[in-house]
Each structure stands twice: as C-alpha cells, then as structure tokens.
Structure 1
Amino acid sequence: MTAQTGEPPLAGLRTVVTGASSGIGRAIAVAFAAAGARVGLGFWRSSEAARALANQLGAIHPLLRADLSTADGCASIVRDAFGALEHVDVWVNNAGADVLTGEAARWPAEHKLQALLELDLKATIRCSRLVAARMRPGGCILNLGWDHATVDGMAGDDPELFAAVKAGVLGFSKSFARSVAPDVRVNV
C-alpha cells in the first residue's frame, strides 16, 4: 500500500507475463498481482497449472493461451492480451524452452538449440515488436536474460546453448530499447 493513497503500488497497471503457469513466470505474475496489477497469464501446454493460478489470483486476471514458438502464436497472445486488458503497461517476456528436464533433457543438442532459439529468442523479439507498436507511451517491456550469458559463462553443452541464446536476448533488448525510446522502456 502506498502511504499517500492506501492503494497497492501497481494498482491500475495492466501486465502480461508469458510463461506464467510455473517457475519464475508464476512468481512474477503472483508478485505483480499482489502489488495490485491486473495480470494476463500467458501459457501454452500447462492448462491445469494456468487455471489453478488464475483461480488463486482471481477472475480479473485473464488466461492467454498461445504457442510462442510460432509467429502466429506471438501475434495471437498480443492480440488477445490487448483484447482482454484494453491496453498493456508492462509486458514480461518470460516464456522459455525447458531443455533440462523431462523428455527434452535427452534431445540432441541441435534440437535443444532450435527450441531455445524459437521460444527464448525469437518469441522475445516477435512479442517485443508487436507489443511496442501498440503500447502507450510510458510502457515497459521486460525480457528475461541470464547472468552467466555475459558475466562468467558456464561449462557444458546445455549452458553453452542457453548462454548463446540469452546473450542474443540481451543484445536485441539493448538495441530495441534505443529504437523505441523514449516512448517504451526495454530492460533485461
């Protein structure tokens, strides 16, 4: 609550979090909602987890289902988000390929790289561009990176692939921030 108004600090803000059904995305969505924002909950395969989160947070937080590994899926989530929320103040590109657990852990490196490029890098670029074109001045796009991508690296096949893709997210974000400033802020 703010001392001046007694309202939550993000009251009235409309936010979208991609990959909101689990992990970091879920935590981000919960934090935004707890601070008073209305949150569009982006998800793809985890319908049950997404519905459970929406039930926990309340009906004002719409579910936004889309396969962000495709251009059509990126266009769909942006269209649906603006349809459900009318405008978006903060967009969080959190969705990412899990190539470390389950069946994906056994994929060959080339398959893992393709999944990471499609979801972690291309979806971030596509959604950022589509959202920025519709965002009001003062909007913010947050792209998730990885500190090991630029600080100290990490040994191993999977970290090498992940670091390369997240370094791409960082490079895109820095350049895109210059392209859309001063109307939209872009951070990693």
Structure 2
Amino acid sequence: MTMPRFSLQGRRTLVTGASSGIGRAVALGLAEHGADVAIHHFGNESGARDVARTIGGNVPVFEADFTDSAATQAFADAVIEQCGRIDILIANAAIEHRLPWREVNDAHIDKHVASNFATLLTLTNRFVPPMMERGWGRVVATGSIMATRPRAETVVYASLKAAQLTAMQGIAREVGHRGVTMNVVSPGAIEIEANAVRYEDPAFRRAVVAKIPVGRQGRPEDLVGAFVFLCSDAAGYITGANIPVDGGWSIGDAPGALPQAAE
C-alpha cells in the first residue's frame, strides 16, 4: 500500500524523454504511485505508445525535437492546451553526442545547448509560474555524474549538465517559498537501450563495474525511488539538491579499479 506522504495521487506529471531508458522507468514509477502522467518523446513513437499502454488509461503522448526552440515552445503550448496544468515536471530528455574535444564545432555545441539547457529554461518558464500560483509544484531534472567527473569526449554534454544544476539551484531560491521545489537526480553508469551494445562487450562491462563501489552498473529502475521521493510531499523541505544515484562512483573509484576503466 502506498504511504500517503509518498503518494502522487492526482498530480499531473510531464516526463520528457519517456519512451525508453531512465525516462520510461521514471514515468512508470510515478504512475505506479498515483501520478497522472503525460509523456514526451522524439522519434520513438512505438516506445512512447508502449509506455502509455503499460501505464493504462488516457496517457497523453507528445513529440518534440528539443534542438528546435520553436518546436519546444509549440510543445509547451500543446501540453498546456491538452493537460490544463502540470504539477510535476521531469526534465529528463537530453542528447549526448561524443566527440573528441578538438573536433567540437558550433553545430555540436548549439544542439547540446538547445536540447540540454535552453529547453529546461523554456519549460520551467512555462510550467513553474502556474505551480507557484497554486502553491505546490515539483521540478526534477536528470543530471549526470559527468557534471563532476567529466570526460574530454563529452565536454559539451558534461558542461551543460553542470550548468543545468546551477540553473535549477538559482531558480529554486526564487520559488521555494511558493511551494515549488527543484532538484536534480544524477545517474552514474546506467545500462539502457542506447548503450546496451557497449555493455555486451565483457571487457567494457568489467572496466565499468570495477570502478563502482557497489560492484555493478546501474539500471533505470535504480533511479525511480529518488524521483518518486523528490516529487512527493515527503520531500517538501528539499530543494536545490543534487542526489547522486551512481553506486557510489561519485565518492571515488572502487578499490582496485582498473586504471583504463571508462564510463
């Protein structure tokens, strides 16, 4: 039985990037705790519809390319028109294109900035003020261990995850007294559909696992508890926080970690 303080019954929730991986797990987890969920995807209609069917009922499904600012604005308009209000925003969608740092170009930077940073500001600007007026709201963004343990080939992605945390904390200071909390959940090495092929390589898997104190890579389901907690009334006194869900990797490599281990 769901404890009342952790119940999300009746809370209207938008999860971006919800068609697979972490977003899918979080959308299902929030729905399990009573939230009315709307989901966003880009280019994965079948995955999004599968999530909607799994949740059951009337689950709105939206598609938008967050590298396009006009599309992001139109997406926000459509959500408001169809859902009426959003009580909980899960800012999960992001792109991570790896590129040697000496090959980084304007197009690479612009796409990451639009999708991984500007979209956060656009969506909070649209959804947070109404939350403030109602006196209750939650924004939880998916961060990354790379914000504090960056790699050269993901320098743009990692830098923007750090910027995301700064933005969330800055806004959190302004909206907390109106009942809106804003927090970040930062995964470590999580095996999802997008990187499943890499994890099929035994050498890669061993190298990753060797660095993680709990001794295994993460799964999307490992993150759900943190999101549910931060979205609930039980976490009403927590804002501007960054919760690592990384098997302890952020506190340091496991003893005996392989020096060549890669994320």
What range describes the TM-score normalised by the shorter chain of this pair?
Answer: 0.7 to 0.9
Instruction: Name the % identity.
Output: 27
Residue aligning to 2:163? 168
Residue correspondence of structure 1 range 20-59 to structure 2 within 5 A: 20-59=18-57
State which of 89, 92, 95 in structure 2 corresponds to 1:91. Answer: 89
Instruction: Please say if residues 70 and 123 of structure 1, whose CA atoms lie closer than 8 Å, have aligned partners that are also in contact.
Output: no
Residue aligning to 2:75? 77
**TM superposition shift of 1:40:** 0.6
- Structure 1 pair 92–148 and aligned structure 2 pair: CA distance change class (3 A): same
AA of the residue aligned to 1:148: M
Matched residue SS, 1:182: helix
Q: Is residue 125 of structure 1 aligned with residue 109 of structure 2? A: no
AA of the residue aligned to 2:84: E
My pick for the range that moved more, 52-61 or 28-37, is 52-61
**TM superposition shift of 1:29:** 0.4
Distance 1:55 1:139 in 2: 26
- The count of aligned residue pairs is 178
What's the TM-score once normalised by structure 1's chain length? 0.84
Larger Rg: 2
Matched residue SS, 1:10: coil
**TM superposition shift of 1:34:** 1.1
Deviation beyond 3 Å, 4+ runs, structure 1? none
Residue aligning to 1:115? 111
State which of 9, 12, 23 in structure 1 corresponds to 2:10. Answer: 12
**TM superposition shift of 1:117:** 1.1
Q: Deviations over 1:36-60 (max 9, x none)?
A: 1111101121111111211221132
My pick for the range that moved more, 120-129 or 140-149, is 140-149
**TM superposition shift of 1:173:** 0.7
Matched residue SS, 2:140: strand
State which of 177, 185, 208 in structure 2 corresponds to 1:182. Answer: 177
- Structure 1: which 5+ residue stretches go unaligned? none
AA of the residue aligned to 2:158: A
Q: Deviations over 1:135-170 (max 9, x none)?
A: 2321111122113313xx233322x22211101101
Instruction: Please say if residues 42 and 77 of structure 1, whose CA atoms lie closer than 8 Å, have aligned partners that are also in contact.
Output: no
State which of 139, 142, 146 in structure 2 corresponds to 1:141. Answer: 139
Q: Deviations over 1:58-93 (max 9, x none)?
A: 132110222222232222222222223222110011
My pick for the range that moved more, 18-27 or 112-121, is 112-121
State which of 151, 154, 159 in structure 1 corresponds to 2:150. Answer: 154
My pick for the range that moved more, 83-92 or 39-48, is 83-92
**TM superposition shift of 1:3:** 5.6
Distance 2:64 2:150 in 1: 31
